[in-house]
Amino acid sequence: MGFDRQEEAVDIARRLENWQAARDRQMWKVILSPEFGDRVDLLRLTRDLIGQMAKDLGTDLEWVAVEHHNTEHPRVHVAIRGLRDSGETLRLHREYVQQGIRGIAADLCTRQLGYRTELDGAEAERREVTEKHFTSIDKRLLRDAERLGPDLVQGISSCRGILRRLD
């Protein structure tokens, strides 16, 4: 079971089947995975985010979502119906998807949790150490290596390729 704008017990499979039966041309999928998802009210974050998106896009949005707490990173999977309230296809510009949604979510998380403290930063870095993908630590090492010389950059770039294959 999932949730939407008004309900907290939505049959997601049935809702998606209805959208498919209506022959919707498009559906948008968003994953909300805040850095400190264990401390964020994910239901409120999702509802506030989609509400702001609806304002930005000038249309009501029909959506369903489900929270997952089965890993160290609590997250929400959201499916947004690809129709505007006028019946036209909902189109999202690349920049809005890549930066706009993230910016709104970051602002909403800050409103819930307050500004990031040094302790929060240290905790986030501790979590990254065991990640098997390219992280901010790796980016920082690469930047530092570029200042030190091309041979070091080449070695780190080789490691980066190995990390990508692990993903």
Extents of the domains making up the chain: 12-113, 131-166
pTM comes to 0.70
Q: Which long-range contacts (CB under 8 A, 24 or more apart) does 110-114 make?
A: 112/40, 112/41, 112/44, 112/45, 113/36, 113/39, 113/40
- pLDDT range class, residue 167, cuts 50, 70, 90: very low
Q: How far apart are CA 55 and CA 60, in angstroms?
A: 8
Per-residue pLDDT for 154 more than 50? yes
Q: Report the CATH number of the 12-113 domain.
A: 3.30.70
Per-residue pLDDT for 8 more than 60? yes
Q: Residues 67-88: what's their mean pLDDT?
A: 90
Per-residue pLDDT for 149 more than 50? yes
